[in-house]
Structure 1
C-alpha cells in the first residue's frame, strides 16, 4: 500500500511508523517540519507543508495521487491564545485533506478524532460511538474536534456512495515515554524543569477525576488494523481501567488532596491569563466532562485489544518525564529550558507566538 500520513512525526505518527516499519508499504509523511532521515523516519518520503496554508488542499492533491490510504493525524495544541490559527490547522486542515483525498480518488481516509469530540452528559459512564460529537463548549480543542467531525458528516451526506471510505478514530488521552518532552513542552511552563513533575509531594486534584487514557502504541495498532481491513466508521479506543485521581497520585508517588474542579479550574484560568503557564482552562473542563469509552466496536470489528493498561501507560510517560525522554523529530525533540527561554525572548511566549 501507498500510505500518506499527515502529522507523521508526532506522538501517534511516530508510533504508527514504528508499527509499519519493515513492511512493504510505501510511506509518505506530510509535516510542517520534516525530521532528519534517521531511525524510524528514514524510510519515509517527506513533504513539508503547513495544513493551515490557504492553498494546502491544492498542494495535497499531488501528494495524495496514487495513495491507497491517507491517515490524517496533523493537529495543533499551541499557541493556546491564537485559537484562530489552531482552528485553521485542525478544521481547515481537515477540510483540505478531505477535499484533496476526494479529488485524488483516495480509497480510504483514516481521521484522528478524539474523546474530546464527545458531548458532555455522561461523565464517569461509558458511551459507544453513537454518543453526540458536539464537543465541550469551553474547550477550543474540543470545539475544533467536533467541527472536524461535522465536516466529515457533511461530506459523507453530500457524496453518498461516491465518498471516500472514512474511519474515525476516537481515542482517549494519548501518552507514551518518547512523547514526554513534546508533551511537557506544550503543557509545562518554560521555567519549570521536567524532572520536577515526578517529585511532586502533593497532588491537588478533584477526587471525581475519571478519564480514558491510552498508550500511543495501542492507538497505532488500531490504525494498522483499520488500514488492513479497509474499515469505516467511528472507533472508540481506550486502555483499562479508567484512570482516577488516586491512580495518578500513586504513579507520581504523591499524596492526593481533594481540590474541587471548579476551584482548580479558576486557578488554571487565572494562571493562564497571567501567562504563568500555557494550558487554557478548556483542557481541565474537558478532563472533567468527557465520558468514558465503550470500545466494543473496535474489539469486534478490528479484533483489537489494548496491550497497555491505563496505569502502565501513565507510568511509561511519567518515567519518560523523569528521564527527559524524547524522539528525533521536531515535535518530540528534547525539551530544553534554554531553548524555550530563547524563543520566549525572540519570538514571544509559547501561547502567543505564531508557530509553536
Structure 2
C-alpha cells in the first residue's frame, strides 16, 4: 500500500547517508527524489523517480538555484557536511554552516513544508555528571564539546534550525541525531580522514583475522554505531510521518569487552589521558588523521536512548553495533592507506556491506 505522491529533495545525496536514504526511498513508489550534490555519480542512471542536480552549496548563486530545485517539493533532507578538516582549515566550517544557511534560505523561499537535518550524537556534549552510563533522550540539553569543532558546528547548525522553525511555524523541522555512521563503501574515506601511516594495513588485517590477543582501548570506552541503511530507513520513516523535533538514531551500545570481541581479542584498558596525548602527538606529526576533538567525542559522549524512533517511527536497527563494527573493520582491512579499495578474495556476505 502506498501513500499520496510526494517529492523529496536530498541535499548531499551522494554521501554515505545519502546512499542509504536513496535506497530506502526507492522502496516507496509514491516518492520522487531530486538528488543534489556537488558532483553527481557518473555511473548513476536517472529514472522517472530520481533526478540528479549538480550544485555547490558555496557558490554565490547556490540559494537561488537550490530554491528553484525545491519548488513544488514536499520535503528537503539536508545531509551535506564536511566531517573532518581537509586542506584549508576554514573550508569545513564554510561548507557546514554556510551550507546549512543556504539550505534553510532556499527552503524558506520555496515554501517547503518539511525540513530534515542530519544532526549528531555529538550535540549532547559530555556525559551526564556522575552518570557516565545513563542513556539520554531527545530532551537532554544540547551543548557542545568545547574541544570538538564538529560538535560545536552541529550545535550551531541546530541553533540555526531553531531560528528557522520560529520564523516558519507552519514548517515541520526535524533534526535526526545519529551515532557514527558505518557503511563498507565509506571505509576508504574514513581511513583517509581518521587513520594514516600510524595504522598500517598489516595491523588492520591481523586484527580482522583475530591474530591480536589483546586490543588496547581507552578505559571505560562505550560506543554506539548505526549502519547507513538503517539510518536511511529512519529518515525515510521521518518523512513518511512528517515527524518534527529531535529523533535519536543508533544501534545498541557496546563496552570495551564487546568491542574487542569483534576482533576475537581481549580489551587492554589504557588510561584516557595517555591515549589522548599519544593521539595528539601522532596527529601533529601527520601520521594519524584523528584529532583530540574526535577522541573526546568517542570517550565522553552520552549513550543515546532511541525509544522515540522505535515507538513513533516503528524503527529498529537491522545491524547492531557489533555487526557494524565488523563491517567497518573488514572494509578498512581491504582499503589502501590512500583510501582506495583493494580487491577482496570473496564477496561479502549478505548484510555485511
* Higher relative contact order (CA closer than 8 Å, sequence separation 6+): 1
CA distance in 2, matches of 1:198, 1:216: 23
1:262 counterpart residue number: 273
1:102 counterpart residue number: 108
1:126 counterpart residue number: 135
* Cα 1:194/1:77, change in 2 over 3 Å: farther
SS in 2 for 1:174: strand
CA distance in 2, matches of 1:196, 1:125: 34
Answer yes or no: is the 8 Å Cα contact 1:195–1:323 preserved in 2.
Answer: no
Does residue 7 of the first structure (1) align with residue 12 of the second (2)? yes
5+ unaligned residues in a row in structure 1: which ranges?
326-332, 337-356
Query: Which residue among 125, 142, 165 is the counterpart of 2:172?
Result: 165
Q: CA-to-partner distance for each residue in 1:11-45, whole Å, 9 max, x for gaps?
A: 11101111122534221111122111337999632
SS in 2 for 1:212: strand
* Cα 1:172/1:191, change in 2 over 3 Å: closer
User: Structure 1 residue 84: deviation in Å?
Assistant: 2.1
CA distance in 2, matches of 1:103, 1:110: 16
The aligned length equals: 326
CA distance in 1, matches of 2:61, 2:124: 30
Query: Which residue among 175, 184, 189 is the counterpart of 1:182?
Result: 189
Q: Hey, which of these two has a bigger chunk of helix by percent?
A: 1
Answer yes or no: is the 8 Å Cα contact 1:60–1:100 preserved in 2.
Answer: yes
* Cα 1:225/1:194, change in 2 over 3 Å: farther
CA distance in 2, matches of 1:42, 1:64: 17
CA distance in 2, matches of 1:280, 1:81: 15
Q: CA-to-partner distance for each residue in 1:294-315, whole Å, 9 max, x for gaps?
A: 1111122111111221111212
SS in 2 for 1:127: coil
Does residue 236 of the first structure (1) align with residue 236 of the second (2)? no
CA distance in 1, matches of 2:48, 2:199: 33
User: Structure 1 residue 125: deviation in Å?
Assistant: 1.6
SS in 2 for 1:26: strand
Show the 5 A alignment for 1:62-211: 62-80=68-86, 82-122=88-128, 123-159=132-168, 161-162=169-170, 164-189=171-196, 194=201, 196-200=203-207, 201=212, 202-211=214-223
1:283 counterpart residue number: 294
Q: CA-to-partner distance for each residue in 1:248-291, whole Å, 9 max, x for gaps?
A: 21112344221111111111111111211222110000111110
Show the 5 A alignment for 1:28-47: 28-38=34-44, 44-47=50-53
CA distance in 1, matches of 2:270, 2:115: 42
SS in 1 for 2:286: coil
TM-score (structure 2 length as normaliser): 0.85
TM-score (structure 1 length as normaliser): 0.85
CA distance in 2, matches of 1:41, 1:121: 46
